[in-house]
């Protein structure tokens, strides 16, 4: 052990320590000082951060709930969507088809959860988060659809809907409304809700 090396090191460290202490002290003060922000500052901030409200689009621009599923962007019409929710406590059901993942308890009501990929027969593409449910509701059908992430609600003009790309031949055409400019697959929620195939016979 060389005490000669320790000497200069120590000297260097000594000066560093003092500076360090000062910096830490300053930071602490900053943190302490900034812990309870003032209401005025908040309002100011809010004003800065506030955005202009989205302009109303033309009439034929329904709102679509965009979501991510297996790195593919999909969208469902918001008029069929009751709400979106986080997936929790999924209970798998036996003797059900593959696309029925199970049921969840959503604020007291039992909801079946569908995996669209399986329903459409899409191949599994990598890992998915699958932690969001889009609750689709119609007059006589209600189920949840799995999604990896909710991208948001957006108005998509119907004029911008393009027909499906050749690459998306996997999905049954009857559920496909089209593809948006951003290559979001627009699904027909109504068709889904009305589809007989969704209904699972109680008897196996």
The token pair at 27 is 């930071």
Q: Please state the closest distance from residue 153 (CB atom) to another protein, in A.
A: 4
Cβ atoms within 10 Å of 1's Cβ, excluding its own: 5
Q: Is 53 in the site for another protein (CB under 8 A)?
A: yes
Q: Please state the closest distance from residue 109 (CB atom) to another protein, in A.
A: 16
Residue 146 and residue 113 in contact, taking contact as beta carbons nearer than 8 Å:
yes
Strands 109-114 and 142-147: parallel
Beta bridge partners of 106: 109
Strands 72-77 and 185-187: parallel
Name which position in 31, 36, 39, 54 contacts another protein (CB under 8 A).
54
Query: Mask 58-97, x = binds another protein (CB under 8 A)?
Result: ----xx-x------------xx-xxxxxx-----------
Total residue count of the chain as it appears in this document: 204
Q: Please state the closest distance from residue 204 (CB atom) to another protein, in A.
A: 35
Residue 175 and residue 187 in contact, taking contact as beta carbons nearer than 8 Å:
yes
Where does this chain touch another protein (CB under 8 A) — which range of 12-20, 33-41, 48-56, 174-182? 48-56
Q: Is 152 in the site for another protein (CB under 8 A)?
A: yes
Closest CA to 147 of 83, 58, 94, 201: 83
Q: Is 142 in the site for another protein (CB under 8 A)?
A: no
Applying CB under 8 A, the residues found at the interface with another protein are: 1, 49-51, 53-54, 56, 62-63, 65, 78-79, 81-86, 132, 150, 152-153
């Amino acid at each position: 052990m060389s005490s000669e090396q320790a000497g200069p090191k120590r000297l260097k460290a000594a000066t560093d320590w003092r500076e360090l202490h000062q910096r830490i002290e300053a930071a602490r003060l900053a943190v302490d000082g900034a812990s309870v922000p003032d209401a005025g500052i908040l309002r100011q901030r809010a004003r800065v951060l506030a955005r202009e409200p989205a302009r109303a689009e033309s009439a034929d621009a329904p709102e679509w709930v965009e979501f991510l599923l297996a790195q593919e962007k999909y969208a469902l019409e918001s008029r069929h969507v009751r709400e979106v929710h986080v997936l929790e406590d999924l209970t798998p059901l036996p003797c059900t088809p593959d696309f029925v993942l199970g049921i969840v308890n959503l604020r007291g009501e039992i909801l079946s959860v569908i995996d669209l990929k399986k329903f459409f027969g899409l191949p599994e593409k990598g890992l998915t988060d699958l932690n969001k449910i889009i609750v689709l509701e119609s007059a006589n059908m209600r189920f949840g659809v799995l999604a990896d992430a909710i991208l948001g609600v957006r108005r998509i003009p119907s004029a911008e809907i393009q027909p499906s790309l050749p690459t998306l031949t996997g999905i049954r055409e009857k559920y496909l409304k089209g593809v948006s400019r951003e290559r979001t697959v627009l699904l027909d929620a109504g068709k889904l809700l009305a589809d007989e195939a969704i209904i699972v016979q109680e008897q196996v």
